[in-house]
Amino acid sequence: MTLLDKDLVSIQEVRTLVKSAKIAQQKLQSMSQEQIDKIVKAIADAGYENAEKLAKMANEETGFGKWEDKIVKNVFASKMVYENLKDTKTVGIIGEDKENKIIEIATPVGVVAGLIPSTNPTSTVIYKAMISLKAGNAIVFSPHPNAKKCILETVDIIRKAAIKEGCPAEAIGCITTPSIQGTNELMKHKDTSLILATGGEAMVKAAYSSGTPAIGVGPGNGPAFIDKTADVALAVKRILDSKTFDNGTICASEQSIVVEKSMETAVVNELKSQGAYLLNEEESKKLSKFIMRANGTMNPQIVGKSVDTICKLADLTNVPSSARVLVARETKVGHDVAYSREKLTPILAFYVEENIDAVMTRCREILLNEGAGHTFSMHANNEELVKTFALHMPVSRVLVNTPSALGGIGGSTNMIPALTLGCGAIGGSSTSNNIGPLDLINIKKVAYGVKEVEELRGSKAQTSNLNIDLSGKEELIDMLVKRIIQELR
Rounded percentage of the chain residues whose pLDDT exceeds 90 = 86
Helix (H, G, I), strand (E, B) or coil at 455: helix
Of 440, 475, 359, 455, give the one whose Cα is nearest residue 88. Answer: 440
Q: How far apart are CA 327 and CA 322, in angstroms?
A: 14
Within a domain: 48: yes
Assess whether 209 and 319 both reside in one domain. no
Which residue range forms the structural domain that includes residue 183?
A: 12-217+436-444
> Among residues 301, 115, 76, 348, which one has the least CA distance to residue 217?
115
Asked whether residue 457 is domain-assigned, the answer is: no
CA-CA-CA-CA torsion for 423, 81, 88, 139, nearest 10 degrees?
A: 70
Same domain, 250 and 200: no
Positions annotated as catalytic residues are: 251
Structural domains in the chain (count): 2
CATH number where 164 lies: 3.40.605.10
Q: Could you report the per-residue pLDDT of 454-483, keeping only the tens digit for each?
A: 889 885 545 445 455 555 566 666 766 676
Of the candidates 411, 17, 306, 336, which has an alpha carbon nearest to the alpha carbon of residue 186? 17
Whether 246 and 169 share a structural domain: no
DSSP-assigned beta bridge partners for residue 92: 106
**Rounded distance, CA 130 to CA 158, Å?**
9
In a domain, 481, yes or no: no
pLDDT tens profile 101-159: 999 999 999 999 999 999 999 999 999 999 999 999 999 999 999 999 999 999 999 99
State how far the Cα of 402 lies from the Cα of 152, in Å rounded to an integer. 34
Question: Rounded to the nearest 10 degrees, what angle do helices 148-164 and 51-62 cross at?
Answer: 160
In a shared domain, residues 237 and 100: no
At 217 the pLDDT is 84
Tell me whether residue 455 is in a domain: no
Residue 239 within any structural domain of the chain: yes
Same domain membership, residue 116 and residue 21 = yes
Is residue 195 situated within a structural domain? Answer: yes
- Dist. CA 163–CA 172, nearest whole Å: 10
Q: Which residues are within 8 A (CB) of 94 and not within 5 positions of it... i.e. 6 or more apart?
A: 104, 105, 106, 443
> How high is the pLDDT of residue 106?
97
Residues 172 and 197 in one domain: yes
Q: Could you read off the pLDDT of 281-332 as tens digits, one per residue?
A: 999 999 999 999 888 888 999 999 999 999 999 999 999 999 999 999 999 9
128/130 Cα distance (integer angstroms): 5
Is residue 376 situated within a structural domain?
yes
Segment 413-469, tens digit of pLDDT: 999 999 999 999 998 888 999 999 999 999 999 999 999 998 898 855 454 454 555
Q: Are residues 180 and 33 in the same domain?
A: yes
Pairing of strands 214-216, 194-197: parallel
Average pLDDT for 236-257:
97
Considering the domain architecture, whether residues 186 and 238 belong to the same structural domain is answered as no
Report the mean per-residue pLDDT for the chain. 93
User: For 347, left (φ over 0), alpha (ψ -120 to 50), or beta?
Assistant: beta
Which residues touch 230 (CB under 8 Å, ≥6 apart)? 379, 380, 381, 401
* CATH number of the domain within which 340 lies: 3.40.309.10
Verify that 229 and 301 share a domain, yes or no.
yes
| DSSP state letter for 93 | E
In a domain, 185, yes or no: yes
pLDDT recorded at residue 218: 77
Residues 69, 22 share a domain:
yes
